Amino acid sequence: MTRSALDGEDPDRLYTVTGGRSSADDIDLDLVTLIVRESDPSAGMQSEHVRILEIAAKPTSVVELSSYLSLPVSVIKILLADLLATGKVSARHPSSAQAGGRTSDSEFLKKVLVGLRNL
């Protein structure tokens, strides 16, 4: 196991980053939801939001953002909820999380197989 950047992370910092909110349970974001920037950072924005917007110039998954910012996944989800609410980013949800998600359909799995074989 790789040493984590979060070892010894100061809990006060996590509290500050999220403005004291602690629950990401009702935020509809998957580890692999792709986040895309819709507008540039604005003046006075909190630094974590700016960093997310910089990285999400290209589609970037929630879990990659978590790793790049060295913040737990649930903290990233809370930060993203703010950016989504203000339209600064958009989310491309995985088809597995959508109603009638068809990731276990044979047609879908065939596409995955083709992709793997072409590696």
Partner 1 sequence: MDSAISETDERLPLADTATDGLKIVIVGGFGVGKTTMVRSVSEIRPLSTEETMTQAGVGVDSTRGVQGKTTTTVAFDFGRISLDEQLVLYLFGAPGQERFWFLWDSLFAGTLGAVVLVDARRLADSWYAIDRLEHHGTPFIVARNNFGPPKHSLDDVRAALDLADEVPLVDCDARDRDSSKQVLISLVDHLYTLSKVREGAS
If binding is defined by CB under 8 A, does position 104 make contact with partner 1? yes
Are the C-beta atoms of 63 and 31 separated by less than 8 Å? yes
**62 versus 83: smaller Cβ distance to partner 1:** 62
CA distance 12 to 51: 20
Among 2, 8, 26, 87, binds partner 1 (CB under 8 A): 2
Q: Confirm or reject binding of residue 72 to partner 1 (CB under 8 A).
A: yes
Does 111 bind partner 1 (CB under 8 A)? Our answer is yes
Among 45, 46, 68, 81, binds partner 1 (CB under 8 A): 68
Binding string to partner 1 for residues 22 to 61, with x set by CB under 8 A, is what? x--x----xxxxx--------------------x-xxxxx
Can you give the binding site for partner 1, defined by CB under 8 A? 1-6, 22, 25, 30-34, 55, 57-61, 63-64, 66-68, 70, 72-74, 92, 94-97, 101, 103-106, 109-117, 119
